[in-house]
Structure 1
């Protein structure tokens, strides 16, 4: 498989065939506890009966409606989400990288409305914000900035977490501070409140 699929993260020498709850089973029948949860997207576990039933019911009605159209389930979900969060609107994304890209664009548009040079975004060292070129630029880890990907999106500054002296470089050019509250990829680093 490694010869046919581009290496993204580096894989372990195991092939999984089944999951139930927090358990995974490989091709040899060996069981593992899934501590990764699909990098967070499988936080409800594998093969949960209620989730399987809900997915089957939805697939029987419609598989996918693009954002060109409105679906009844989309309306219901949006209403429930806005009520639970007490927000006024929502922007749906396919991934964390896409959500971060949208946040970066929104912050820069906001900054541009105040002052044309207000476009710098401060992120934390050891942070991880995604694998697109702009979110890699926002990521505060040099290992994600190889020369082969250059040029990177400009106007990102990276400061050390919990280093209050570093706040001095937050100047008039800064339109946003983007924080990964609990850093995962860079080590589980907690941010002081």
Structure 2
């Protein structure tokens, strides 16, 4: 299924079942800012462009649980977050090279061709791999705090959104970058709108 159709289906599902997450979805990003996202360093993958032309992120309010409907609790970034995330990646790579630690960082914790597209409250990131090769466009998880170093989660953002939508619709299990099973449920706090949470299952 084409990504725009998947995102439209996700929007409808969130509006009906998780209005707390739905209200966190921002309108489309400014096309001029999207065009300048990678500053000419590489051609941004089409799935990223489609996401940004649909929503400029999924965290309108800076609340930890808000808009985190991608496991494990990842709000999607908009163009500002992606731009800053890429700058941080480049800085981390350059620092590692300068310190002689390239083999421990580059391609494990950071890469100049990894574009962050989501970040959770513990500092973990989902990045779209823009390196040439068979995994071009794949979504990787990076979280040094848990030992997850560039682990492939999905073949593409299209695959990611389709998997998330399917899991939400059927309350089925997905697997995190560390191999832990996680399943969605709707939390209905008394002081906020219902939203998606992902429960982890160890063992």
The TM-score with structure 2 as length reference comes to 0.28
Answer with 1 or 2: which has the greater Rg: 1
The TM-score with structure 1 as length reference comes to 0.29
Taking CA–CA contacts closer than 8 Å with sequence separation of 6 or more, which of the two structures ends up with the larger relative contact order? 2
